[in-house]
Structure 1
């Protein structure tokens, strides 16, 4: 039997397009998950369009017959992606990386801190526990955006609140009279309350400065750094550990990650 070509993508139809903000859309793609093609939140696929290239995009939603990819319009490939809508298609290959196994959170107090599109990799985790709150002691989500116009997954956030998720959505800048939370995500970390902080789990996903200062705030309140996880998407290209773009020392982000324990990579020098 011939060896499988790991670089060969498959065709996936666009089932639905959801606009969140001026530059961010979610594309719902056909995908028969089943037992043979499992996908975890936080994993990524390489999404491509012939003649325009490909890019690694995190999975932001999972069902048995579809996957969501939340994409920001930032270059020629994503410009072309935004011209493709329902009934059209992309090419994809994956899933790659380790992602988040929901079993690691079960029975624990969990805090998820996300910035902007960093909410995408943990979106599936929140979705799962919104439907299985009995499997977790407590789930608190702190997510920050630049402005009210930049808030992603607004409808999903309403559902999460209705189902009992403790959700804090904050913005860096807001117009006068804005009634929501204002300030960096780090502002709300000291306000966290735990029944047993020593066994709680924290996940931090977002821009590097946000990750850095969020972890510092968690340490200040006495959080166990061995229980802090993050998602690192540095310079991933091929997804197979062959091109070397994402290599830091002996670690290949695309294969060894993108989900890491903080203590695994805190001393890595890029």
Structure 2
């Protein structure tokens, strides 16, 4: 999907809405997905209210998923839409995850809460093509039982892949893992330190301490990949809201190799 003017959005039909929690829903929009990668984002426009950059949470045959949290003016209006309505989209933008970079390796994905959305496409690919990877593990943390996203996906993925779901806190009826994702990183299985890739996406502090735990396992910075989402606005490097040093997160990122990303500063 594209237009001759990068500022002009294109109308795309909503073909499904999946409600995960009271404030987090996935909107599936019909569009061309030929050049879309996990980790990229679109700008979703709401006339008279503005636009918001939203990561791609799924890529299918002629549709993309956007998992959106109802937290503001733009997102609040998106939640008023129904199946059959039209979303105004422009994109995809940014630098996504190159799955070819991970093939033939031990791949570890660590995500915090809603950050499972931008890496969901990676997990889906591995689930469909497990033989293209030496091993795979997903560690994902949520605040509580009611905050878990993509429950059906997590159940499906667990049939073939090693999936660790953990909660920050849980009631007495919960029998699963409790604790931060960092608690489970020392348990990951790695067969070859020179042939491993780790993807870390989530809140800044979660990412910081997850990377420290990976470094304790002697995983090098050049084998770690991160996604930074920060104050993106225009999506095409014109407004400067997301600039760090001379790097525009919306153009050069949001996906970066950590060997480069660790040196970014305001």
Please tell me the TM-score bracket, short chain as reference: over 0.9
Aligned match of 1:55: 52
SS of 1:175's equivalent?
Answer: coil
Aligned to 1:266: 262
Q: How does 1:202-217 map to 2 (within 5 A)?
A: 202-217=198-213
**Structure 2 residue runs without a partner (length 5+):** none
CA distances 1:184-226 after superposition (whole Å, capped 9, x unpaired): 0000001112111232100000000100000011111211121
TM-score normalised according to structure 1 size: 0.96
Q: Deviations along 1:143-166, whole A, 9 cap, x unmatched?
A: 00000100000001111111x111
Give the secondary structure class of the aligned counterpart of 1:226: helix
* Alignment partners' CA distance in 2, 1:257 and 1:49: 24
Give the superposition deviation at 1:229: 0.6
1:132 and 2:129 matched? yes
Secondary structure of the residue aligned to 1:4 is coil
CA distance in 2, matches of 1:226, 1:194: 16
Is structure 2 residue 90 aligned with structure 1 residue 93?
yes
Q: Is 1:68 aligned to residue 65 of structure 2? A: yes
- Match of 1:156, SS state, is helix
Measured in 2, the distance between the counterparts of 1:70 and 1:94 equals 16
Partner of 1:197: 193
Match of 1:40 among 15, 19, 37: 37
Please show how residues 146-225 of structure 1 align to structure 2 within 5 Å: 146-162=143-159, 164-225=160-221
CA distance in 2, matches of 1:22, 1:213: 29
Q: CA deviation at 1:267?
A: 1.8
Aligned to 2:229: 233
The unaligned stretches of length 5 or more in structure 1 are none
Deviation sequence 1:103-124 (CA, Å, 0-9, x none): 1111000000000111111100
Distance in structure 2 (CA, Å) of the matches to 1:43 and 1:136: 22
Give 1:23's aligned residue.
23
TM-score, scaled to structure 2: 0.97
User: Does the residue aligned with 2:158 lie in a helix, a strand or coil?
Assistant: helix
* Deviation at residue 27 of structure 1 after TM alignment: 0.3
CA distance in 1, matches of 2:103, 2:194: 15
Counterpart of 1:122? Answer: 119
Alignment match of 1:81 (pick from 67, 78, 81): 78
| Worse-matched range after superposition: 216-225 or 137-146 | 216-225
CA offset at residue 263 of structure 1? 1.1
Moved more, 216-225 or 53-62: 216-225
**Cα distance in 2, alignment partners of residues 197 and 150 from structure 1:** 34
Moved over 3 A (4+): none
Tell me the C-alpha RMSD between the 2 structures: 1.0
